[in-house]
Structure 1
Amino acid sequence: MFCSFVFFLTNNISAISSTQILKERLSKISNFYVKFTQNVTDQEGNSFQKSNGEIWLEFPNKFKWHVLLPEESFIISTGKEIWFYEPNIKQASVSFLKKIFKNFSLLSFYRKSNLADYVINQNRNTFIIHSNKRIYNNIKELKINILPSGKITDVTISENDGLCTKYHFYDYQYNIIFNNQFKFLPPKDTMIDDQRY
């Protein structure tokens, strides 16, 4: 899902500085609502999947990801559990959040103990991140474009198999109160795959 990573840090001081700057920018916004477009490309750069939707996010670990097109789906984190729901086929699965995102995620930067697990390089408003721990999942690199105000405009995820996923965010609403966006109650006729136990 996310593109090739070519920047490698050679100076430990710059790594610490880039990490601090990124954390400072991320901390400026406690929550937001945003619309997004997604484009997935293969190893040759050919686009084979596009989608759009909306996101509600509340740091450090609550979010609702709603894909509108081409087919509606939801990913909802309650803070402890994460739900995947496809209304068209009436199927849902649930797992503990820490099992899904324990390795490599934007939200994990809020845990100071994780900082040594990442190499971070900065080029103006773009931060290029990868994990020092190769046992982690298929993600090779995470590239975030984040303004000094804390506004994230673009995210690119590069996978080890060459797939690249690019997200563009627009129509932001900042630091607002969300009413029940991070709760999920499956409809009665939903088939549920419970992976919590």
Structure 2
Amino acid sequence: MKMLRKTLGAVAVTLVTFAPVLSTTVFAASTPASEQQATQSLVKQLSGLRSFTANFEQTTKASGKTVVQKKGLTSQHLNQTFTGVIKVERPGKFFWETTQPSKQSIITTGKTIWIYDPDLQQVVRQNVSDQVANTPALLLSGNTNTIMQAYKVTQPDQTKNYYTLLPRAKDTAFQDLTISFGAQGTPTLMILNDSLGQVTTVHFNNVAKNVDIPASVFHFVPPKGTDIIDQ
């Protein structure tokens, strides 16, 4: 059986610390929020985000050679850059598509996640409820209460709109996820440390907040001849 490529896994299926972005000097001078304050602040950010569209650029790098060697990773897994489009409508509707260097889509309306690879004529079908803690990108489209149940929220600097989320479950595919919001309340950056010792960074640009998105964007029907793999 052909294997589905995992070009999007680092963000949306096995997927988005902040060390590459903020210096230790900034952290030393800042005052962190309490968990309650951080949670309330993140809820406020998400509550004001009814929908958004954006272009993205995603890059994955190793955090250390020792980890790479222990995990059996090679250079082809790392230093890859993918570009594409994301469209989100809360709660639960999510569309993510890479356009370069290869095309792959992740689509959900809140119940089923479809991961479609047109080149391989394959689609993986997963249950959203089984993926809440393993699918950080769904944070942007998810139900706020569900998110708070799945993650512990921290805010390293209570004056700035960036948050680091720690999975409450023990067997998740990533260690922590940081998300940053801009002045208009739109996401600008996501950074993920995964369990393989990789750091995935996603930059959002050309962001449009609270726009109308056609319902057809989130409706996926496997094309004729597509292999469907249930997980």
Q: Does the alignment reach a TM-score above 0.5?
A: yes
Matches within 5 A, 1:107-126: 107=141, 110-111=144-145, 114-115=148-149, 117-123=151-157, 124-126=160-162
The question of 1:37 aligning with 2:57 is answered yes
Q: In the TM superposition, what is the alpha-carbon distance from 1:100 to its structure 2 partner? A: 1.9
Distance 1:170 1:189 in 2: 35
* Preserved contact between residue 4 and residue 140 of structure 1 (Cα < 8 Å): no
Unaligned runs of 5+ in 1: none
* Preserved contact between residue 108 and residue 114 of structure 1 (Cα < 8 Å): no
Unaligned runs of 5+ in 2: 1-9, 11-15, 66-74
* Preserved contact between residue 67 and residue 73 of structure 1 (Cα < 8 Å): yes
Note the alpha carbon deviations across 1:69-127, whole angstroms, 9 max, x for none. 11100000121111010011111111211112245632556016835851412322221
Aligned residue type for 1:127:
Y
- Which one of 155, 168, 187 corresponds to residue 223 of structure 2? 187
Distance 1:132 1:64 in 2: 25
- Which one of 100, 109, 119 corresponds to residue 88 of structure 1? 119
Distance 1:20 1:186 in 2: 39
How many residues were matched structurally?
191
- 1:25 corresponds in structure 2 to 45
Q: In the TM superposition, what is the alpha-carbon distance from 1:151 to its structure 2 partner? A: 0.9
Q: In the TM superposition, what is the alpha-carbon distance from 1:149 to its structure 2 partner? A: 2.9
Distance 2:91 2:52 in 1: 12
SS at match of 2:35: helix
* Preserved contact between residue 38 and residue 51 of structure 1 (Cα < 8 Å): yes
Q: Which moved more, 1:11-20 or 1:178-187?
A: 11-20
Q: Which has the higher helix share?
A: 2
The question of 1:144 aligning with 2:179 is answered yes
- 1:129 corresponds in structure 2 to 165
**Identity between Structure 1 and Structure 2 (%):** 27
TM-score, with structure 2 as normaliser:
0.73
Distance 2:131 2:201 in 1: 21
The question of 1:72 aligning with 2:131 is answered no
TM-score, with structure 1 as normaliser:
0.85
Aligned residue type for 2:98:
V
Distance 2:147 2:172 in 1: 19
User: 1:72–1:65: structure 2 CA closer, same or farther, 3 Å change rule?
Assistant: same
SS at match of 2:155: strand
SS at match of 2:188: strand
* Preserved contact between residue 4 and residue 158 of structure 1 (Cα < 8 Å): no
Note the alpha carbon deviations across 1:17-66, whole angstroms, 9 max, x for none. 11111110111110111000000001238952110000011112110100
Distance 2:230 2:221 in 1: 13
